[in-house]
Structure 1
């Protein structure tokens, strides 16, 4: 049992602020989550405003991990995919506060996202992570299988290129119609 509570997040100023702080910290510490350092607070907040609006439309689920009242991690389950992919979902934006890494929050988030994918009738999860300082060991420990590596896929937050590792996992659940 995880010491962290995991729940879907809804838009609101306090949640956007906490998510923005987490995103800025992740990028500053080298996390390859689509942004460059330094990340402006307004840009981080705009990202989360859009992401939470997509969640309100049912296109994704943004999960938060809490240690007491403090948001210490997040992951997004992308559900709105092309019409020929109703059976899959994508894991994105896995982040944990530096102070809470290696304490089980990311594992709890990943397991909750998988259960939500099953509840949405998905049978396949996909994700990618950076070769340099990515979360490959976490994903492999949770049963994800490496498909391959694309070299020089993206810029690292502080500059320089990194490859990306593409992972997949078959999960239980009925295929969506």
Structure 2
């Protein structure tokens, strides 16, 4: 399995669409609610493709033998006083591929990419008690707040969201 930055989603569009639909169906809190239509998922990835082309987003994929198994996005802040900062968006690993270290490898590559791009502070959020909640803590991210009822499911159930940050330091 390799993790690589990509500017062309076309070869992976079907895989990424599958991952997004399956992740939402499995309960991932990544901005969508189930059931997620394939066309909505594909349209989302096409919008990510535009953000990558415009330089607003850096996309990293975990791939093997021409197939994508996971992704994460680095979104650099464009504010004049925040060129040292970036947000981590939508860490996704297909449900069948979880628990094999793919998320950790994606995040490690994202941190390396952020550092190479002069970004030394990363910010992210995740639903409280979600699978990723534990991963971020194990990777050295600091939880700095919890917002109650930050997201709401289609049935009206609300969920708390945790916010994390990490200051990156040079590799030793």
Alpha-carbon offset, residue 99 of structure 1: 1.3
Q: Which of 20, 23, 26 pairs up with 1:23? A: 20
Alpha-carbon offset, residue 85 of structure 1: 1.4
CA RMSD of aligned residues (A): 1.6
Alpha-carbon offset, residue 18 of structure 1: 1.5
Q: Which has the higher contact order (CA 8 A, sep 6+)?
A: 1
The yes-or-no answer on 1:114 pairing with 2:114 is no
**TM-score (ref. length: structure 1):** 0.89
Q: For residue 66 of structure 1, what is the aligned residue in structure 2?
A: 63
Which string of whole-angstrom CA distances, capped at 9 and with x for unpartnered residues, describes residues 115-163 of structure 1?
A: 0100110110010010142411110111000001000001247751111
Tell me if the contact between 2:62 and 2:106 (Cα under 8 Å) persists in the aligned partners: yes
Alpha-carbon offset, residue 79 of structure 1: 1.4
Tell me if the contact between 1:73 and 1:95 (Cα under 8 Å) persists in the aligned partners: yes
Q: For residue 100 of structure 1, what is the aligned residue in structure 2?
A: 97
The yes-or-no answer on 1:153 pairing with 2:145 is no
Q: For residue 33 of structure 1, what is the aligned residue in structure 2?
A: 30
The count of corresponding residues between Structure 1 and Structure 2 is: 170
Q: Which of 163, 167, 171 pairs up with 2:168? A: 171
For 1:115 and 1:105, the matched residues in 2 are separated by: 15
Alpha-carbon offset, residue 51 of structure 1: 0.8
Which string of whole-angstrom CA distances, capped at 9 and with x for unpartnered residues, describes residues 33-58 of structure 1?
A: 00011111111111111111111121
Q: Which of 5, 8, 11 pairs up with 1:14? A: 11
